[in-house]
Amino acid sequence: MAVMGSIGSILSQTLVMLYNLTGNHGVAIIILTVLIRLVLLPLTLSQTRSVAAMKELQPKMKALEEKYKDKPEEYQRRMMELYKEHGVNPLSGCLPLLIQLPFLWALFGVLRDFPSGIAPEAFTRPFESSFLFWDLAVKDPLYILPILSGLTTYLQMSTAATDPSQKSMMVFMPIFITWISLSFPAGLVLYWIVSNVLTIAQQAWISRHPGLVQGGSDAK
């Protein structure tokens, strides 16, 4: 809890500073999201190396599936041995979502009480929570942001998925994110959408620069 409190305090102070600079709550959240993604970039690169290794293992995984299609227990055992041999994580496609959770939980607390939890003198201009069509301090009555949160979650997961076992998660997680987004302040949902879009862009950029993931796999 102390760690979450520290993250929340840093995020709150940063958000106030960004609002004072931009005068727009939505723009401040977007810039904050970019900063968070930059902090997480080393972890993203590590996860991408694991994904690259999993993709290289696909032919071997397919061969095991064909060979042991009538022996599911043996197939699972062989798959675990293959993962261990090459040092890869079969759940690597879900890691970006898991890595974001501490920041999401901390930011939820920040945006839930923002700006009521902030001393008025911290702001150098009157606070306004409107952004485009939304009041970011309340739930989205148009349901646009929750739907976008689910769609971008699906796209983000689909670009990183490497294992057939993740298919059910790719269906469940976007639906779950959409559902919980219906009850979240629009500002928090905006953060999630922008974070997903940035993750997708990062993955596309890294895929065009294979040197960034060299050394992340020995799956030959």
Contact of 194 with 28, CB cutoff 8 Å: no
Burial class from Cβ neighbours inside 10 Å (0-12, 13-18, 19+) for residue 218 reads exposed
User: What is residue 161's predicted lDDT score, i.e. its pLDDT?
Assistant: 62
User: What is residue 204's predicted lDDT score, i.e. its pLDDT?
Assistant: 79
Q: Return the half-sphere exposure (C-beta side, CA atoms, 13 A cut-off) of residue 38.
A: 6
116: amino acid identity, one letter: S
Q: What is the mean pLDDT of each run of 10 residues along the chain (220 residues)?
A: 74 92 93 88 72 75 81 82 76 64 80 76 86 89 94 85 65 90 91 89 74 50
**DSSP collapsed to 3 states, 40-70:** HHHHHHHHHHHHHHHHHCHHHHHHHHHHCCC
Q: Tell me how far apart the alpha carbons of residues 183 and 102 are, in angstroms, rounded to a whole number.
A: 19
Question: Which residue stretches of the chain are H helix?
Answer: 2-22, 25-56, 58-67, 72-86, 95-112, 144-160, 167-181, 186-207
User: What is residue 218's predicted lDDT score, i.e. its pLDDT?
Assistant: 47
Going from the C-alpha of 120 to that of each of 6, 10, 16, 76, the distances in angstroms are: 21, 18, 11, 58
User: What is residue 217's predicted lDDT score, i.e. its pLDDT?
Assistant: 46
149: amino acid identity, one letter: S
Domain extent listing, the chain:
2-55+92-213
DSSP-assigned letter for residue 163: S
Phi, psi of 135 (to 5 degrees): -100, 110
User: What is residue 211's predicted lDDT score, i.e. its pLDDT?
Assistant: 61
Q: Which of 93, 86, 111 is nearest to 189 (CA)?
A: 111
User: What is residue 219's predicted lDDT score, i.e. its pLDDT?
Assistant: 44
Assessment of whether the complete model's pTM goes beyond 0.85: no
